Chains A and B, each alone.
Chain A
Amino acid sequence: GENVEQHPSTLSVQEGDSAVIKCTYSDSASNYFPWYKQELGKRPQLIIDIRSNVGEKKDQRIAVTLNKTAKHFSLHITETQPEDSAVYFCAASTGDSNYQLIWGAGTKLIIKP
């Protein structure tokens, strides 16, 4: 079955700098890759997603890139702000099994003032 690995587990960056979180997946049939942000004690919120027919997607300071050949996708946050501090989860889905998502282990992003 699908396996998703996420790195790093913790990332600390200076406010204003960029942050990059990477995920790799094992199932070449995966075709949907969302990223969720979860603040402490709160629900995960979808921040951006990408489908396998697209190589890159951008939404203001957030972007996601997908390399299907290498089977990895990355989240890029530019001009980081204190409110970006949270745990970020990547996930992958093949569209089978009710679009069940296979989750990465999460990355704790710390923005240093």
Chain B
Amino acid sequence: GAVVSQHPSWVICKSGTSVKIECRSLDFQATTMFWYRQFPKQSLMLMATSNEGSKATYEQGVEKDKFLINHASLTLSTLTVTSAHPEDSSFYICSARGDTNEKLFFGSGTQLSVL
């Protein structure tokens, strides 16, 4: 099956620093990648949608200058949380879809804790 790799699994950082999260599709070309945020015991909240080679589309209320998304190749997308603050602490998870069907496959998630 399709494999999506996400790194790091968890990260602890100081307030004001930036954190980069990588999402890679290992055995297929990801036409579209989605970035989600998930709070404990809640559903997945879509942050943005990215297509390879174009600018990401952000959901309402998500600051594009704070959550920088780059989808430079068909196998890699990155999310950078800039100037992180404690309220940015959350579980971030990426997902990817190839161009052959609508099935969505998820990365393992990144638990971000900002001190």
- Give chain A's interface residues, CB within 8 Å of chain B: 32, 34, 36, 41-46, 49, 89, 93, 95, 97-101, 103-106, 108
A-B residue pair count with CB separations less than 8 angstroms: 49
Nearest CB in chain B: distance from A63 CB, A = 18
Bits for B93-106, please: 1 = Cβ < 8 Å to A, else 0. Answer: 10001000011111
- Among B72-115, those with CB < 8 Å from A are 93, 97, 102-109, 111
A32-B102, A93-B102 in contact; A100/B46 too (CB < 8 A)? Answer: yes
Contacts A98-B51, A105-B42, A105-B43 known; 4 new A-B pairs at CB < 8 A: A43-B107, A45-B106, A97-B49, A98-B49
Contacts of A93 in B (CB 8 A): 102
- Among B1-36, those with CB < 8 Å from A are 31-32, 34
- For the complex, give the distance between the alpha carbons of A98 and B97 in Å: 9
Contacts of A43 in B (CB 8 A): 93, 106-109
Q: Please report whether the interface of chain A is mostly helix, strand, loop or mixed according to DSSP.
A: mixed
Bits for B44-63, please: 1 = Cβ < 8 Å to A, else 0. Answer: 10100101000000000000
- For the complex, give the distance between the alpha carbons of A103 and B44 in Å: 7
With CB as the reference atom, state the residue of chain B lying closest to A101. Answer: B104
Contacts of A100 in B (CB 8 A): 34, 46, 49
- For the complex, give the distance between the alpha carbons of A44 and B109 in Å: 9
- For the complex, give the distance between the alpha carbons of A100 and B108 in Å: 19
Nearest CB in chain A: distance from B51 CB, A = 7
5 closest A-B pairs (Cβ-Cβ)? A99-B102, A43-B106, A98-B32, A105-B43, A43-B108
